[in-house]
Amino acid sequence: MKIASVHTRVVRAPYRRPFVISSGTSPELVSLVVEVRTADGLSGFGEASPMTAYTGETLAGLEAALTDHAAPALIGRDPRDLAGAHLAMDGAIRGQHLAKAALDIALHDLSARAAGRPVHLLLGGCVRPRVPTTWVVGLGTVDEMVKEAAEYAARGFTHIKVKGGEDPDLDVQLVRLVREVLPDTAELCLDANEGYDPGTAGRTVARLADAGLDLVEQPLPRWDLTGMAGLRSSGGVRVMADESMQSLHDAMEIVRRGAADVLNIKILKVGGLHRARQIAALAEAAGLSVKLGTMPELGVATLAAAHLAASLPHATVPADLVGPLLVSEEPLAPTAFAHTADQGWLAIPTAPGLGHDL
């Protein structure tokens, strides 16, 4: 079984309302869908969605890195040789994790289809057949965000994440009001997307803890691991690293510095399922929890994250499997996500491959 060709297509899906975080606004979710074909007619699909305000990568750059460099390095290779595929891609081009992730996901899908098994059985098994999902509330007015948090908690989402980072005082007010409308059993996270000032972040996080916050995500700039470690040691709320953790080497440094309680593993950000599993193993050895995050992306890449979340015992923070729920119509895996918005969890597909509709 040898890789014969790679094909791409751009897919766009408008958000139900613009997705807003402290670093920018996106009116639509744009993904590059990748199909890897073998000489004997088998196919596997992958996906990458460049959120330029978050990663700095553009669609044009992603396409060029994939089609001109990473994909040619795979032609003629056995698609089941995942470690070898990453060595070949790394030899062809440095960095470019989104391009490599799209191909990596396609190789996992293809390999699982060829074996007649779901992807999670290639990743170690299935410790949870249903993956609980975080509901992510984008930036808006306080009233809008409180209303949305209450609505999705009532639907069954047990972990609510609100975006913040622009105004610490407003974040404290938001957390206090959201906590009032959530059930006592619901966990509340605030994602600051690097928005807090290192000099005042300690006081802000202490106020957020008093307001009822359980988990704060990336409160400080990605480079400030000393500050992240200080916030973690002060107690009150758990600290989750996201932008600080772009690779296995970043994860190792976070562990060494004691800079986080939770690692947010985004498959696209770190280069695919193969690299994500390496990071997850490091986190498990260090006694840290992991969360499977989102860029966000559409159904193919979101399913890849779901299969990994299903296979990891220490993926104890509900995953951000919300990209397909935020768009007006999910074009890649509508069947898999048909009921997630109404129940707060995703049933892991058991068909061969990822379980998409392509």
At 225, list the tokens: 């691991």
Distance CA 162, CA 143 (A): 12
- Under 8 Å between Cβ of 97 and 269: yes
Angstrom distances, CA of residue 299 to CA of 82, 110, 296, 312, 331 = 22, 16, 10, 20, 8
Q: Rounded mean pLDDT of the chain?
A: 95
Distance CA 153, CA 106 (A): 34
Q: What percent of the chain has pLDDT over 70?
A: 99
Is the pLDDT higher at 56 or at 351?
Answer: 351
98 band by pLDDT with thresholds 50, 70 and 90: very high
Compute φ and ψ for 221, nearest 5 degrees. Answer: -55, 150
pLDDT of residue 143: 96
CB atoms within 10 A of CB 184: 5
CB atoms within 10 A of CB 199: 8
Angle at 112 between CA 65 and CA 295, to 5 degrees: 45
β-strands 262-265, 238-241 pairing: parallel
Distance CA 222, CA 170 (A): 22
pLDDT of residue 53: 73
Residue 296 preceded by cis peptide, ω within 30: yes
pLDDT of residue 316: 97
Task: Provide the CB-side half-sphere exposure for 34 (13 A, CA).
Answer: 29
Collect all residues with Cβ–Cβ distance below 8 Å to 341 and sequence separation of at least 6.
Answer: 155, 325
Asked whether the predicted pLDDT for residue 280 surpasses 70, the reply is yes
- Under 8 Å between Cβ of 201 and 227: yes
Collect all residues with Cβ–Cβ distance below 8 Å to 90 and sequence separation of at least 6.
Answer: 100
Distance CA 37, CA 103 (A): 11
Distance CA 313, CA 240 (A): 18
Mean pLDDT, residues 153-175 taken together: 96
Residue 157, classified by CB atoms within 10 Å of its CB into exposed (0-12), middle (13-18) or buried (19+), is buried
Asked whether the predicted pLDDT for residue 23 surpasses 70, the reply is no
At 245, list the tokens: 């953790």
- Under 8 Å between Cβ of 297 and 48: yes
Distance CA 235, CA 146 (A): 26
Asked whether the predicted pLDDT for residue 32 surpasses 80, the reply is yes
* 3-state class (DSSP) for residue 124: coil
Residue with tokens 């290779």: 77
22 band by pLDDT with thresholds 50, 70 and 90: low
Distance CA 232, CA 285 (A): 19
pLDDT of residue 18: 83
Whole-model pTM: value is 0.95
Task: For residue range 53-68, list pLDDT tens digits in order.
Answer: 777 889 999 999 999 9
pLDDT of residue 149: 97
Distance CA 52, CA 72 (A): 25
What is the chain's Cα-based Rg?
Answer: 19
CB atoms within 10 A of CB 77: 15
pLDDT of residue 52: 78
pLDDT of residue 55: 76
235 band by pLDDT with thresholds 50, 70 and 90: confident
* 3-state class (DSSP) for residue 281: helix
Among the listed residues 289, 249, 255, the one whose alpha carbon sits nearest the alpha carbon of residue 271 = 249
51 band by pLDDT with thresholds 50, 70 and 90: confident
Phi-psi region of 351 (alpha: psi -120 to 50; beta: other; left: phi over 0): beta
Give the helix, strand, coil percentages of the chain, each rounded to 5: 40, 20, 35
pLDDT of residue 222: 96
pLDDT of residue 25: 78
CB atoms within 10 A of CB 87: 12
